[in-house]
Amino acid sequence: MRLMRLKEVMRQTALSRSTIYNRMSEGRFPKTVKIGERAVAWLECEIEDWIEEIIQQRD
């Protein structure tokens, strides 16, 4: 299991920071894991699953 920081999630998904946080608040994007007092990350497997869902919706 690997954690991804925001910049890597943005690169992987091609979404902006504000879009990621907006979709999280709408329940349409994986939630963060708190890794420090002021630091969060995403689980790589959840980001990959989200990308797969988007592809399946397209097809």
CATH of the domain at 7: 1.10.238
- The pair of structure tokens assigned to 57 is 């919706």
Domain that holds residue 46: 3-58
Rounded Cα distance between 40 and 49, Å, is: 19
pLDDT over 90 at 4, yes or no: yes
What pLDDT does residue 36 have?
A: 97
- 5-53 pLDDT, tens digit each: 999 999 999 999 999 999 999 999 999 999 999 999 999 999 999 999 9
CA angle 37, 32, 36 (to 5 degrees): 15
Q: Can you give the pLDDT at residue 38?
A: 95
- Per-residue confidence band for 59, with pLDDT thresholds at 50, 70 and 90: confident
* Number of domains comprising the chain: 1
Angle at alpha carbon of residue 11, lines to 8 and 15, rounded to 5°:
115
- Dihedral sign for Cα 56, 4, 23, 16, please: negative
* Residue 58: strand, helix, or coil: helix
